[in-house]
A and B are shown apart, each in its own frame.
Chain A
Amino acid sequence: MSTLLGQSQLQETFELNIGPQHPATHGVLRLKVTMDGEYIVKAEPVLGYIHRMHEKMGENRTWNKFWPNLGRLDYLSAIAYNHGYAGLVERAAGIEVPERAEYIRVITVELNRIQSHLLWFGAFVLDLGGFTPLMYAFDEREQILDLLESVTGSRLTYCYFRFGGVYNDIDDDFITGTRAFIKRFRPQIPMYHDLVTGNVILMERLVDIGHVSSEMCRKYGATGPVLRGSGVNFDIRKNEPYSVYPEFDFDVPVYTECDSMARYMVRMKEMEQSLRIIEQALDKIPDGPYIAEKVPKMIKPVKGDYHFAVEAARGTFSMRTVSDGTNQSYRMRLRSPTYSNLSLFEEASRGMLLADALAFMGSLDLVIPEMDR
Chain B
Amino acid sequence: MDRAKIKKELEMLAAEGLPAEEPTEEAAPEPQAADEEQDAKKSKKAAEEPPRVNGLLETDYNARGFHLDVQVNPDQVVAAAEILDREGLTMEMVTGVDWLKENQFEVVYDYSYTGGELFRVVVRARIDREKPDIPTISEVYPGANWHERETWDLFGINFVGHPQLERFLLPDDADFHPLRKDFKP
Instruction: Select the stretch in B3-11, B12-20, B21-29, B42-50 that faces chain A.
Output: B42-50
B179 A55 Cβ-Cβ under 8 A: yes
A221 to B98, CA, bound (A): 25
Q: Within 8 Å of chain B (Cβ to Cβ): is A112?
A: no
A270 to B113, CA, bound (A): 22
Q: CB-CB < 8 A to B35: which residues of A?
A: 324
A102 to B62, CA, bound (A): 17
Give the contacts of B105-127 with A (CB-CB under 8 A).
108, 110, 112, 114-118, 120, 122
Give the contacts of B51-85 with A (CB-CB under 8 A).
62-66, 69
A316 to B114, CA, bound (A): 11
A331 B169 Cβ-Cβ under 8 A: no
Q: Within 8 Å of chain B (Cβ to Cβ): is A363?
A: no
Give the contacts of A203-220 with B (CB-CB under 8 A).
217-220
- Interface size of B by CB at 8 A reads 45
B64 A335 Cβ-Cβ under 8 A: no
What is the 8 Å Cβ interface bit string for chain A, positions 307-334, against chain B (1 contact, 0 not)? 1110000001010101011100011010
A306 B178 Cβ-Cβ under 8 A: no
> A343-B145, A343-B146 given as contacts; is B118 within 8 A of A240 (CB)?
yes
Choice from A88, A222, A322, A372 contacting B97 with Cβ under 8 Å: A322
> A47-B168, A227-B114, A307-B64 given as contacts; is B143 within 8 A of A219 (CB)?
yes
Q: CB-CB < 8 A to A250: which residues of B?
A: none
Main secondary structure of the interface of A (DSSP, over half): mixed
Choice from A302, A316, A331 contacting B92 with Cβ under 8 Å: A316
Choice from B92, B112, B120, B171 contacting A48 with Cβ under 8 Å: B171
> A227-B114, A307-B110, A335-B92 given as contacts; is B43 within 8 A of A302 (CB)?
yes
A239 B116 Cβ-Cβ under 8 A: yes
- Interface size of A by CB at 8 A reads 49
Q: CB-CB < 8 A to B143: which residues of A?
A: 219-222, 340, 343-344
Q: Within 8 Å of chain B (Cβ to Cβ): is A124?
A: no
What is the 8 Å Cβ interface bit string for chain A, positions 16-57, against chain B (1 contact, 0 not)? 000000000000000000000000000000011001010110
A304 B64 Cβ-Cβ under 8 A: yes
Q: Within 8 Å of chain B (Cβ to Cβ): is A108?
A: no
A347 B65 Cβ-Cβ under 8 A: no
Q: Within 8 Å of chain B (Cβ to Cβ): is A276?
A: no
A305 B169 Cβ-Cβ under 8 A: no
Choice from A227, A309, A316, A326 contacting B65 with Cβ under 8 Å: A309
Q: Determine the residue in chain A with the shortest Cβ distance to B164.
A: A44
> A51-B169, A343-B145 given as contacts; is B92 within 8 A of A305 (CB)?
no
Q: Determine the residue in chain A with the shortest Cβ distance to B111.
A: A221
> A51-B170, A330-B97 given as contacts; is B39 within 8 A of A221 (CB)?
no
Q: Within 8 Å of chain B (Cβ to Cβ): is A120?
A: no
A218 B90 Cβ-Cβ under 8 A: yes
Q: CB-CB < 8 A to B65: which residues of A?
A: 88, 91, 306-309, 320
Task: Kindly provide the distance from the CB of B93 to the nearest chain A CB, expressed in whole angstroms.
Answer: 4
A300 B42 Cβ-Cβ under 8 A: yes
> A218-B114, A232-B114 given as contacts; is B49 within 8 A of A333 (CB)?
no
B115 A325 Cβ-Cβ under 8 A: no
> A51-B169, A339-B146, A340-B143 given as contacts; is B39 within 8 A of A303 (CB)?
yes
A91 to B120, CA, bound (A): 16
Task: Kindly provide the distance from the CB of B169 to the nearest chain A CB, expressed in whole angstroms.
Answer: 4
A47 to B169, CA, bound (A): 6
A136 to B92, CA, bound (A): 36
What is the 8 Å Cβ interface bit string for chain A, positions 136-172, against chain B (1 contact, 0 not)? 0000000000000000000000000000000000000
A219 B47 Cβ-Cβ under 8 A: no
Q: CB-CB < 8 A to B122: which residues of A?
A: 305, 307
Q: Within 8 Å of chain B (Cβ to Cβ): is A223?
A: yes
A347 B97 Cβ-Cβ under 8 A: no
A221 B90 Cβ-Cβ under 8 A: yes
Give the contacts of A227-267 with B (CB-CB under 8 A).
227, 232-234, 239-240
What is the 8 Å Cβ interface bit string for chain A, positions 103-138, against chain B (1 contact, 0 not)? 000000000000000000000000000000000000
Task: Kindly provide the distance from the CB of A240 to the nearest chain B CB, expressed in whole angstroms.
Answer: 5
Task: Kindly provide the distance from the CB of A61 to the nearest chain B CB, expressed in whole angstroms.
Answer: 15
A316 to B120, CA, bound (A): 13
A318 to B171, CA, bound (A): 26
Q: Determine the residue in chain B with the shortest Cβ distance to A46.
A: B168
9 A-B contact pairs sorted by A residue (CB < 8 Å) = A51-B169, A56-B178, A218-B90, A227-B114, A232-B114, A303-B47, A326-B42, A331-B98, A335-B110
| 6 extra A-B contacts, CB within 8 A, seeds A91-B63, A218-B114, A331-B97 | A51-B169, A239-B116, A304-B64, A305-B108, A318-B110, A372-B169
Enumerate the 8 nearest inter-chain pairs by beta-carbon distance, A residue then B residue, closest first. Answer: A307-B65, A220-B143, A48-B169, A303-B47, A234-B114, A51-B169, A221-B143, A325-B39
Q: Which residues of A contact B (CB under 8 A)?
A: 47-48, 51, 53, 55-56, 59, 88, 91, 217-223, 227, 232-234, 239-240, 300, 302-309, 316, 318, 320, 322, 324-326, 330-331, 333, 335, 339-340, 343-344, 347, 372-373
